[in-house]
Structures are given as C-alpha cells and as structure tokens.
C-alpha cells in the first residue's frame, strides 16, 4: 500500500537526524543503498524454564524502498553484516519493517 498522498515519508528518513544508510545485497549479488531507521532492541525471550537474552535488529523504511527484498538477502549497516529473516512487513501507513539477524563470522546466520 503506498503512503497517503498528503504524507511525505522522506521527512522521517534524514541521515543527519535518526536515519542511516544500509547496503542491501540480493541473493543474485545486486547491491543497492537504502535509507531507514535502524533499531536493535534487547529481547528477553522465555520458553518454559529456558531464557534467551538476545537482540532483535530491524530496519524501518518506506515500503517502496524495501520492495524486492527477500529472506536471505544481505544487509550491511554501519559495517555490521545482517541477513533478512523474511520479506519486509508493511504496517499499512506506507512504512515497512525488515527484521534482521546478525551474520555470524562463519557465514551462517540462521
């Protein structure tokens, strides 16, 4: 869904304020730069008696910027390598969130 015609989403993605530039590389090896807001919140997941202290990195951009990104595509943000967990999820306002997982040194991400 495109953003409402009265809303200029570019105003939210200024790199001199909160936004950052990420480089996305598709499985075919095609790279492109996208601008969005990166967040890596702490996550304390619990399943029964097991706990997992981890993070939940994600990149929020306009839907049009994230179009065409798929599970497994590489994303580099501030020199750190991530992998897309799934296709971007739209929130219905013209924005979408790309959930990420940190790329491990050996190349395995998930």
Give the pLDDT of the chain (110 residues) as one tens digit per residue.
454 554 677 777 877 778 899 999 998 999 999 999 999 988 787 878 888 787 889 999 999 999 999 999 999 999 999 999 999 999 888 899 999 999 877 665 55
List the domains of the chain with CATH numbers: 17-102 (2.40.10.370)
Most distant CA atoms of the chain, gap in Å: 49
Terminal alpha carbon distance of the chain: 30
Tell me the C-alpha to C-alpha distance, in Å, between residue 72 and each of 18, 28, 32, 39.
26, 11, 15, 19
In angstroms, rounded to a whole number, what is the distance separating the alpha carbons of residues 26 and 89?
17
Per-residue tokens: 7 = 């809303």
pLDDT at 57: 95
Q: How many other β-carbons are positioned within 10 Å of the β-carbon of residue 49?
A: 5
- Look up the pTM and report it: 0.79
């Amino acid at each position: 869904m495109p953003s409402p015609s009265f809303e200029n989403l570019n105003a939210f993605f200024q790199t001199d304020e909160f936004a950052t530039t990420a480089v996305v590389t598709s499985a075919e090896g095609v790279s492109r730069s996208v601008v969005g807001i990166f967040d890596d919140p702490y996550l304390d997941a619990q399943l029964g008696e097991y706990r997992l202290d981890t993070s939940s990195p994600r990149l929020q951009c306009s839907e049009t910027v994230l179009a065409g990104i798929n599970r497994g595509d590489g994303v580099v943000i501030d020199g750190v390598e991530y992998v897309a967990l799934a296709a971007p999820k739209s929130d219905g306002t013209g924005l979408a969130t790309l959930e990420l997982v940190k790329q491990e040194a050996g190349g395995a991400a998930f």
